[in-house]
Amino acid sequence: MSSVDSTPKDAPAWGENALLEIVDGIAWVTLNRPDKRNAISPGIVWEMNAIMDEVEANDAAKVMIVTGAGEAFCAGQDLKEYFRIPDTWPAIERERLYRANSQWQWRRMMYFPKPTIAMVNGWCFGGAFQFMIACDIALAADDATFGLSEINWGIIPAGIVTKSVSMVMNQRDSLYYIMTGDPFDGAKAAEMGLVNFSVPREELRERTMAIAAKLMEKNPTVLRSAKAAYHHVRSMNWDTANEYLMAKHAQTNANDPERGSQKGMSQFLDEKSYRPGLGAYRRED
């Protein structure tokens, strides 16, 4: 058996391989293995799942921003700690690791009940595409370096990487980068739709926080439903999607503790205090 622990840690639940700091509504989540370019080890997997439990439950956290410590966002799965060593584990333990990794990287991330932003501050390779794409919004530094490097070390982009890429990049770009493994920068990532924006490195944090602030002005119940609806309707036909969306709309209104749509309508139609086309209604009333 190896020196890498195959069991989830009891304590600390996080704070070693992944950090959490909640400031002014933003849950800053930082992959914290800078010496290994934040490559995803079992430690990151267990700690990220624990962090997501906390962010989900903690009312102080309104938006989650995921980034990396040091010069990397994330160099993908750790070739040694996630692949080579777990290959020596009993299959059931390896499968538990893979399942837990799928949980935080895309199953939970995609449907996370709070808005999520990937702040790509540097190297972003392979497995990192999974949670970066599963985040609702992604910003990159212009000079961040991306790559589907799997081909360079002899595997296909597995896990859910190829599927994720096909959701946001077109076929020509997807196959070009899957098959060549060529690296590309943040500006190219934005041009292809892999990230929303790329910005000068010195503006990355501020621009990401500005988007978080914008999201925090919106009704959190409606945000939660809106993103879930988006992901669900993608695989539905038009009639089913229409039925589902109308039902989701009714469910959202019924469950909304702040009665947002009534407020929004009243502030526009009666008070004439704002224009929905140009910004959000006042939530504090």
Angle ∠(110,108,97) on CA atoms, nearest 5 = 130
Out of 80, 94, 232, 248, which residue is the one contacting ligand COA (CB under 6 A)? 80
Which residues lie closer than 8 Å to 243 by C-beta, 6 or more apart? none
Give the distance from CA 69 to its chain's centroid.
16
The one-letter code for the residue type at 87 is: D
Q: Give the whole-angstrom CA distance, residue 47 versus residue 45.
A: 6
Residue 77 binding ligand COA, by CB under 6 A: yes
Q: What are phi and psi of 139, to 5 degrees?
A: -120, 145
DSSP 8-state code for residue 102 = H
Nearest approach, Cβ of residue 77 and ligand COA (Å): 4
- Span 120-139, contacts to ligand COA by CB under 6 A: 123, 125-127
Which C-beta is closer to ligand COA: that of 151 or that of 226? 151
Q: Which is nearer to ligand COA, 75 or 189 (CB)?
A: 75
Looking at the Cβ atoms of 85 and 215, the one nearer to ligand COA is 85
Considering only residues 2 to 41 of the shown chain, the ones binding ligand COA according to CB under 6 A are: 36-37, 39
**Nearest to ligand COA of 9, 80 (CB atom):** 80
Nearest approach in angstroms of CB 89 to ligand COA is: 17
Quick one: which of 116, 103, 125 has its CA closest to 39?
Answer: 125
Q: Which of 149, 198, 208, 252 binds ligand COA (CB under 6 A)?
A: 149
Q: Which residues, other chains included, contact 184 with Cβ-Cβ below 8 Å and sequence gap of 6+?
A: 145, 146, 147, 177
Site of interaction with ligand COA (CB under 6 A): 36-37, 39, 75-80, 123, 125-127, 149-150, 153
